[in-house]
């Protein structure tokens, strides 16, 4: 079953003075239910734009996006967005941040907090639920961001370079953690990254975007079964081959890959 269908989508921004930027053009993509698909591409190629279109945060200018067969008109509770900058509310505790999207939806406070606590535990932050974001490390803050997204129990997680602001080591830990959660919950994940390794390690399929206006240059199936073990995957020769192919594709696009 397909969770998301992107049908010939284009997006252009109109800046001040009517200047137009074509960010996306002719995007076709389908994401299977329960699948893990990465969007890979250089900075500025439109990954965030595409992901925000998927969430309905910004309207597309051409084409159509369907979720569960229904065209989307705006953000919905079947999708949850994880931001690169974590975007926690600094005046709220960890618990308060995870509860945030449930307020006004789940009427009982006890029930809200119980739900939130379940996901805080899933991301391993039970001991920190009374802490404020500024007291947490970056990795912990993004765990909160992920718990918040999971708390609304969406079908689809939309993750915009969620580990982009983390150091290399934390990043690897978080990747393993994310796979564990994905395997546990069975959510559909669309994951944006500009790291080839990250895309290959995490996902079942990698869609490579070319630079402005962003188009899908190629899609790669990643043949490893889940649950994945880090060392076995990264050591595998098929991994190295895929890595090589994608790099070549990206390099052939040097104008785009000036970052």
Partner 1 sequence: MTAPARDWAVRIAALALLLLVWQQVAQRLPAAILPTPVRVGAAARDLLTGGELALAWGQTVTQVAVAMALASVAGVGLGLLLGWYRPLDQLLSPLLGALFLTPRIALVPLIALWFGLQDLAKIVLILAFGFFEVFFTVRDGVRGMERSYLELARAYGVPTWRTLRTVVLPAARPYVLTGLRLGLLHALVGVVLAGFFLETSGIGGLIYNLGAALRTAELVAALLSVMVVGLAVNVGLRRLEARLTPWQVTR
Residue 97 binds Mg ion (CB under 5 A)? no
Distance CA 220, CA 132 (A): 40
Q: Which of ligand ADP, Mg ion, partner 1, none is residue 49 near (CB under 5 to 8 Å by kind)?
A: ligand ADP
Q: Which helix (H) or strand (E) holds 159?
A: strand 156-160
Nearest approach, Cβ of 91 to partner 1 (angstroms)?
Answer: 5
* Whether residue 118 has a cis bond before it, omega within 30° of 0: no
Q: Which of 15, 18, 104, 186 binds partner 1 (CB under 8 A)?
A: 104
Distance CA 29, CA 45 (A): 16
Q: Which of 43, 126, 232, 254 binds ligand ADP (CB under 6 A)?
A: 43
Are 163 and 171 in contact by the 8 Å Cβ rule? The answer is yes
Distance CA 154, CA 160 (A): 16
Nearer to Mg ion, 165 or 233 (CB): 165
Nearer to partner 1, 34 or 56 (CB): 56
Q: Which of Mg ion, ligand ADP, partner 1, none is residue 111 near (CB under 5 to 8 Å by kind)?
A: none
CA 206, 77, 68, 12: dihedral to nearest 10 degrees? -60
Q: Which of 3, 29, 45, 136 binds ligand ADP (CB under 6 A)?
A: 45
**In the chain, alpha helices (H):** 47-55, 94-99, 109-122, 138-151, 168-185, 196-202, 230-235, 237-251
Are 128 and 136 in contact by the 8 Å Cβ rule? The answer is yes
Q: Which of 67, 80, 159, 256 binds partner 1 (CB under 8 A)?
A: 80
Residue 193 binds ligand ADP (CB under 6 A)? no
Q: Which of partner 1, Mg ion, ligand ADP, none is residue 234 near (CB under 5 to 8 Å by kind)?
A: none
Nearest approach, Cβ of 141 to partner 1 (angstroms)?
Answer: 12
Nearest approach, Cβ of 46 to ligand ADP (angstroms)?
Answer: 4
Residues forming contacts to Mg ion in the complex (CB under 5 A) are 48
């Amino acid at each position: 079953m397909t969770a998301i269908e992107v049908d010939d989508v284009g997006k252009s921004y109109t800046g001040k003075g009517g200047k137009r930027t074509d960010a996306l053009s002719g995007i076709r993509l389908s994401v299977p239910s329960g699948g893990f698909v990465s969007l890979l591409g250089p900075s500025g190629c439109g990954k965030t734009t595409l992901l925000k279109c998927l969430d309905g945060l910004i309207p597309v200018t051409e084409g159509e996006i369907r979720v569960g067969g229904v065209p989307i008109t705006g953000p919905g509770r079947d999708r949850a967005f994880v931001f690169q900058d974590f975007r926690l509310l600094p005046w709220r505790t960890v618990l308060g941040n995870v509860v945030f999207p449930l307020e006004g939806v789940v009427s009982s406070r006890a029930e809200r907090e119980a739900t939130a606590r379940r996901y805080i535990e899933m991301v391993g932050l039970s001991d920190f639920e009374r802490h404020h974001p500024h007291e947490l490390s970056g990795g912990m803050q993004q765990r909160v961001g992920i718990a918040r997204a999971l708390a609304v129990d969406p079908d689809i997680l939309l993750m915009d370079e969620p580990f982009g602001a983390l150091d290399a080591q934390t990043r690897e830990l978080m990747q393993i953690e994310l796979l564990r959660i994905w395997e546990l919950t069975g959510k559909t994940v669309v994951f944006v990254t500009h790291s080839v390794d990250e895309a290959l390690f995490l996902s079942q399929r990698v869609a490579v975007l070319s630079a402005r206006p962003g188009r899908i240059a190629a899609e790669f199936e990643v043949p490893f079964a889940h649950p994945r073990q880090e060392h076995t995957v990264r050591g595998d020769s098929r991994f190295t081959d895929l890595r090589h192919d994608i790099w070549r594709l990206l390099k052939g696009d040097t104008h785009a890959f000036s970052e």
